[in-house]
A and B are shown apart, each in its own frame.
Chain A
Amino acid sequence: MDELELLKKDWKKQDADYPKLTYQEIYKLIHKKSSSVVKWIFIICIAEFLFWGFINLLIPESYFEIYEKFHLKTLLNTSYILHYAVSIGFIYLFYKNYNAICVIDSTSLLMKKIIKTRKTVNYYVYYNIILSVILSFVVNFVMFSDANLLVEVFNPDNKPIDVDTFFNILLIAQIIGLLVMVGLLWLYYRIVYGILLKKLTKNYKELETLE
């Protein structure tokens, strides 16, 4: 007999062997918590929205005084308003995509929808990174173009300092800060994708190569 026929025969035979769960056992099962990828993506995405939403609030008040001296406050306030409008847009898109995830869809459509939801939030994070980089460039440009004021602001007691060294330290500190931020983000995404979406992306790619 053909091996596959043998397998099929055996497959049909196994029906009687499985345990029948009782009503109570099923009842208990359906009240347990799911640990699905979609649930985790939802939690992580919400955490990302909260993180990027609140990170602005962490800037100490004294910084705003500095910005005011450089006449940057209007620029920054406008960018905040725009930023929150864009964020709301992203949250809406995320919600829409998340709601569209439907476990009854075909496997490939389901994967597509999950990836789309996740991508919305990825774009949101990219947007935040790009915005921070652009803003910090603008702010730095304005601040460094008024060297006297910069020294005055960071050295209010007028201690004798070497202006060149001071500028270099300031610049290097900012570059290191930026690198650390990017590094942490990279690590974070490696972990999130590594743990959560590796299987899904692999399977999705396999389906894609089929079509």
Chain B
Amino acid sequence: MTKDLEHKFISEFQENQNIIHKVCRIYTNNQEAHNDLFQEITIQLWKAYPKFRGDSKLSTWMYRIGLNTAITLYRKSKRSIITQDFDSVLHRIQSTDYDNTEEEQLKVMYKAIHQLSDIDKALIFLYLEDKNYKEISETIGISEVNARVKMNRIKTRLRTILNP
């Protein structure tokens, strides 16, 4: 039974693992921290999986647990890094080629995002993932109105960072 569940989980996780990478990208700014958070979220997902009923989409469920782990549960640890391959591929991402001004702009944007608070990071993450305000408010547990107000503030803040 456990084996079946494990198999089902791993297959479904494999399909959707990018969600977790993206959460890690928002919340960490180095390789080691990225891998460490990735590992903790994966463990939390697996622990919660037996209770996953399928009444929400698996991806929605993953967003929730991913963000909850990053904001609330995660503590930095000094665990060993997952695998070598994992490292080298992630390393490549950081040097993808953009045209110069865009690249600069994006760099500044990502840097600005890393300076936001954990809650603001969650909001901007869900915005980037094209979630509507209803979903954002349900995931974080604040009212829709407050989610809107907060999001506008973050957007303004990010824009002014680029156009002072």
Contacts and interface: CB of A to CB of B under 8 A. Distances in A.
Which applies to chain A's interface (DSSP): helix, strand, loop or mixed?
helix
Contact of A34 (B9, B47, B119, B141): B47
Given A107-B68, A203-B117, A27 B146 contact: no
Given A3-B109, A200-B72, A21 B22 contact: no
The 9 closest A-B pairs by CB, nearest first: A106-B141, A108-B141, A19-B89, A36-B73, A30-B46, A18-B21, A35-B77, A11-B128, A17-B93
Interface residues of B, number: 67
Interface of B: 6, 9-11, 13-14, 17-18, 21-22, 25, 39-40, 42-44, 46-48, 51-52, 61, 64-65, 67-69, 71-75, 77, 79, 82-83, 85-86, 89-90, 92-93, 96, 98, 102, 105-106, 109, 117-119, 122, 128-129, 138-143, 146, 150, 155, 158-159, 162-163
Which applies to chain B's interface (DSSP): helix, strand, loop or mixed?
helix
10 contacts: A11-B128, A14-B22, A17-B93, A20-B17, A25-B83, A28-B82, A29-B82, A30-B43, A104-B68, A107-B67
Contacts of A8: 128
Nearest to B26: A11
A207 B142 contact: yes
A38 B67 contact: no
A21 B118 contact: no
Nearest to A18: B21
Contacts of A6: 102, 105-106, 109
Nearest to B24: A18
